[in-house]
Chain A
């Protein structure tokens, strides 16, 4: 099939996204070193948020230990690089596989526990991993480990890592999109709507929940591994339970259950602190106020806010009207 025909088969929306990422890639390539570094971090956090979105956004499963998967990815990469001397890409891939297994393990409580209890268990998992790497000399203890990746970071002054990060984020979006429009994605959403009903249609609840966790863990781990490669260091404090809360917030702020929501949310949690750095101590307060405003006034997240804004500009009223039945006399349900 010729390139032209292949391109023509891509749906319009996908074309817009690809174009946007193309422009983004250019912007990163041409910008100064520090802005590119921030953009790279944005892509990395987006990837992680995309992973969490599959579990939290599609499956409505309260996973509050996502930072733990990033930790496994980062530390796994660090250990493979420093102790086993594997090449960087292999290290990250291996860490991803390890995290997938961990993810499935963490998914096991999700089968029987709901909401609140599950949130606590997953959060406790995050804390446990954090304490573990903090108190183990093999992983560098409280100080962490330095990675010898200076050569990697120096390539094109960080442009290689930027390219890789962007491509990984796009891949993550691709995976997320596939899940969304597939049988598995529908099954996940049915499980979120009503587990018993999902079962009655033959949906394997256990399989789908574990698959969701495995996938989320893999994406989170690759994100963590990349973080290690980009910053050149893994330290426990970077992967504290606060990180889980951060990614959780990113998913919710961006618009949970939506494709591009995580990318927007990651932008928020990366950009706001960066932009307000000048205001020093006020920075966190400004972030908190914006955070509170967005999630309170826009339950559908930034994506929902933008869509509502676009609709308003296009002349429609707040939401498309419900369809009405022809005859309005009803029997009591």
Chain B
């Protein structure tokens, strides 16, 4: 493989890895604070992207505001889902709560299918202009750069949030041990709500970045959700930076896998890597050890 191809493959891998990382972060956040594996993580993003492309973009608003509105709607629906489905009815165990998100996924999917399924796929206008930038003979597309820039800033923003703000600290405490956190005076319910809000926003933003590249269809996020879960697991659910690294690694492995081996065997190849990692580190690459309590 010559250098140019390797570099192009690597860049493609990092870009898709960025998606996996962000989504994986959203999933890990929700899992750690509310003990729920959120199956609906991607669908809400698809929904808000449809709203953006088909309706909001026709409103007389500057594009940036349109984007923010769409993201806000996703965040709002996400929090609403948390309040009505999870908080209001606490009867079930973790498995039951997870199944509720599965049902939510089915519902949102059915809604997007009902309204927009017939005429798909749609094209979404890119957030960045077409064209490439030439860096020492290597062509980097504007939208790849833009995606990495946005993903990077989002990642940085989350990092700052977790490390340097009180809310972020509260979120990390709840993620480590919700019971102890509430004993320390943290309003776990409020934090959970914030987490679902942020996760909804992340999902929407990622969907909006992906839509212009693939076509906008009702199964826009489907390939990404499993990869996002995988990124979360690879990184070790307890370590947020770990999830980011896990996602990037996954993107790279996938990219090189499909170039080197075959695009059809991409899924099995990734699966084998995942299995090998978990074989040696069952708790993920970066997890801190958590012994079971007796």
Contacts and interface: CB of A to CB of B under 8 A. Distances in A.
A277 to B, nearest CB: 14
Nearest to A117: B233
B226 A124 contact: yes
Interface stretch (A8-16, A219-227, A280-288, A325-333): A280-288
B95 A291 contact: no
Interface string B144-182: 000000000000000000000000000000000000000
Interface residues of B, number: 45
A197 B113 CA distance: 48
A113 B282 contact: yes
Contacts of A289: 107
B100 A296 contact: yes
A281 B96 CA distance: 27
Interface stretch (A29-37, A89-97, A128-136, A148-156): A128-136
B110 A116 contact: no
A197 B185 CA distance: 33
Contacts of A60: 95
B278 A249 contact: no
Interface string A196-211: 1100000000000000
Given A195-B292, A292-B100, A117 B95 contact: no
Interface string B69-94: 00000000000000001000101111
Contacts of B89: 296-297, 299
Interface stretch (B3-11, B46-54, B124-132, B264-272): B264-272
A121 interface: yes
Contacts of A245: 102
Contact of A296 (B37, B85, B110, B292): B85
A291 B233 contact: no
A116 B237 contact: yes
A295 interface: yes
Contact of B264 (A119, A123, A131): A131
Nearest to B287: A117
A208 to B, nearest CB: 17
Contacts of A249: 99, 102-103
A292 B278 contact: no
A125 B94 CA distance: 23
Given A127-B271, A131-B264, A281 B113 contact: yes
A147 to B, nearest CB: 25
B110 A288 contact: yes
Nearest to B81: A292
A56 B94 CA distance: 13
A256 interface: yes
B274 A124 contact: yes
Given A249-B99, A295-B100, A120 B274 contact: yes
A295 B99 contact: yes
A125 B271 contact: yes
A323 interface: no
A287 B96 CA distance: 18
A196 B294 contact: yes
Interface in B100-134: 100, 102-104, 106-107, 109-111, 113-114, 117-118
Contacts of A131: 264-265, 267-268
Contacts of A112: 278-279, 282
8 contacts: A116-B31, A281-B113, A284-B109, A285-B107, A288-B109, A292-B85, A292-B104, A296-B103
Interface of A: 56, 60, 62, 109, 112-117, 119-121, 123-125, 127-128, 131-132, 135, 194-197, 245, 248-249, 252, 256, 281-282, 284-285, 287-289, 291-292, 295-297, 299
